[in-house]
Amino acid sequence: MKLWDKGIKVNDKIEDFTVGKDREMDLYLAPFDVLGTMAHITMLESVGLLEKDELEKLLKELKNIYSSALKGEFIIEDGVEDVHSQVELMLTQRLGDIGKKVHSGRSRNDQVLLDLKLFIRHKVEEVVIAVNDFFEALQSQSENYKDNLIPGYTHLQVAMPSSFGLWFGAYAESLTDDMQMLKAAWKITNQNPLGAAAGYGSSFPLNRQLTTDLLGFDNMNFNVVYAQMGRGKTEKNVAMALSSVAYTVGKFAMDACLYMSQNFGFLTLPGELTTGSSIMPHKKNPDVFELIRAKCNKIQALPETIGMITTNLPSGYFRDLQLIKENFLPAFDELISCLELATFAVKNITIKEDILNNELYKYAFSVEEVNKLVLQGVPFRDAYKQVGSAIEEGNFEPKLTVNHTHEGTIGNLCNDKVKEKMVDLIDSFNFKGVNEALKTLSKK
């Protein structure tokens, strides 16, 4: 079944090529297509395009379909082109001609864009939860090990004293900026495109504000041409937010791989979180962090992938946009799995104590010695030269202590302030309002 079928059989090769993986990808969208249809037909009844008893019958069947989609039981039958066609086919099979009325005032163009936006909202909430779990684990370890010093590096050369508290806490605060990106993606997504039809509106007296309210959107994409132009742009903007999170998680994974190597030896994971070698019995490989790193690199490429598909497309719908789904829809679950594994690993990390007592790291304290001289009244440049000369002559023997007190440094991590930033950001999402609107709609 095809919503555009006019009785002309399409060549099988063309059919296979144009449908591609769309039926497989559309399973991600099934519950959201049903919710969108429920909102749309509720609106159609309000403007006189459906009878009240027809709406009641349609809503009853749609609730059944929605339930099966949530349980993972929804399938797109052979010969059915996409999720939109499957839902309409099921309604028509069960209710007869009434089922054929649900597409009035819609195009597959605004229908799929709506489905994508509802899907994105749902998955962004899941990502936010996973990001916050990772954030909490990082902050907890930052507090646990705030007094445990490690060397900081520039150019991969020993630079200055750092701490595990700083290291864990740095990635926690990085996630607050990623949350800002997720919030922007949420706000861009949370605008209703339904009613744009094929991108040029409809002669039906549609009530777009009603569907906006029913689906819990903050606002609508008012201009119908722009609503259609949002296809591809929406996914790219959201992909940028996902890639921002992936950047933080992937970078943390790289640090963890480095710090777990024997040359550093700063961290260990329990044996059950590592893998071995087929010929080297001593190996405990950080495969979990290596795969997190690789998966996050792949996610960071997603905005570019979408950009290359959409580059130079003029306004209006083009089939090119279909291909975005293949990389975009699975990316949420892939990122969430990386976050969940990173959180699990961080909670089980064991640190090495007294790392800076090693002779290898004594020059990390050179700046501390310079600063001590400055505090005694020696001009900074003279103090720098004195300490530098001592190092060159082999006479540098520092005290292995630090006294940092300003905001965000070793002795004053400001984890509580960072926590406030994260809490405020998460509270600014309107997850509760959206979920209440969809709950009300699904029970109509």
Render pLDDT for 307-329 as a digit per residue (tens, 0 to 9).
Answer: 999 998 999 888 889 899 999 99
| Residues acting as catalytic residues | 155, 277
25 and 155 inside one domain: no
The pLDDT of 288-312, averaged and rounded, is 95
**DSSP category for residue 273:** G
Task: State which H helix or E strand residue 305 sits in.
Answer: helix 302-310
What is the domain count for the chain? Answer: 3
Render pLDDT for 153-194 as a digit per residue (tens, 0 to 9).
Answer: 999 999 999 999 999 999 999 999 999 999 999 999 999 999
In a domain, 143, yes or no: yes
The pLDDT of 423-441, averaged and rounded, is 95
Euclidean distance between CA atoms 232 and 248, whole angstroms: 25
Give the pLDDT score at 17: 67
What's the start-to-end Cα distance of the chain, in Å? 28
Give the pLDDT score at 174: 98
185 and 254 inside one domain: yes
242 and 261 inside one domain: yes
3-state secondary structure of 217: coil
The pLDDT of 236-249, averaged and rounded, is 98
Euclidean distance between CA atoms 183 and 426, whole angstroms: 8
| Helix ranges (DSSP H) in 322-407 | 324-328, 331-347, 366-375, 380-393
Per-residue confidence at 35, pLDDT binned at 50, 70, 90?
very high
122 and 256 inside one domain: yes
CATH number at 43 reads: 1.10.275.10
Backbone dihedral angles phi then psi of residue 223, each to the nearest 5 degrees: -70, 120
Q: Which tokens belong to 252?
A: 């943390």
Q: Which tokens belong to 264?
A: 């550093």
Range of 96's domain? 12-101
Render pLDDT for 39-60 as a digit per residue (tens, 0 to 9).
Answer: 999 999 999 999 999 999 999 9
253 and 204 inside one domain: yes
192 strand-pairing partners: 220
Euclidean distance between CA atoms 92 and 62, whole angstroms: 11
Residues with Cβ within 8 Å of residue 115, at least 6 apart in sequence? 29, 32, 33, 36, 83
The gap from C-alpha 109 to its chain's centroid, in whole angstroms, comes to 25
* Domain edge (last residue) among 80, 101, 122: 101
> What percent of the chain stands above pLDDT 90?
83
25 and 172 inside one domain: no
In a domain, 6, yes or no: no
In a domain, 128, yes or no: yes
In a domain, 426, yes or no: no
* Domain edge (last residue) among 319, 334, 357: 357
Euclidean distance between CA atoms 243 and 259, whole angstroms: 24
345 and 369 inside one domain: no
Is the pLDDT confidence value at 4 over 50? Answer: no
Euclidean distance between CA atoms 393 and 375, whole angstroms: 24
189 and 261 inside one domain: yes
In a domain, 139, yes or no: yes
Give the pLDDT score at 352: 95
373 and 312 inside one domain: no
In a domain, 7, yes or no: no
93 and 148 inside one domain: no
280 and 322 inside one domain: yes
* Domain edge (last residue) among 34, 66, 101: 101
Say whether pTM exceeds 0.95. Answer: no
Can you list the positions of beta strands (E) in 96-174? Answer: 149-154, 157-163
What is the C-alpha radius of gyration for the chain, rounded to an integer number of angstroms?
28
In a domain, 247, yes or no: yes
346 and 403 inside one domain: no
Better-scored residue on pLDDT, 293 or 271 = 293
In a domain, 137, yes or no: yes
CATH number at 122 reads: 1.20.200.10
Contacts 24+ apart (CB under 8 A), 253-259: 253/289, 253/290, 253/292, 253/293, 253/296, 253/342, 254/289, 254/293, 255/167, 256/286, 256/289, 256/345, 256/349, 257/286, 257/289, 257/290, 257/293
Render pLDDT for 65-103 as a digit per residue (tens, 0 to 9).
Answer: 999 999 999 999 988 888 999 999 999 999 999 999 999
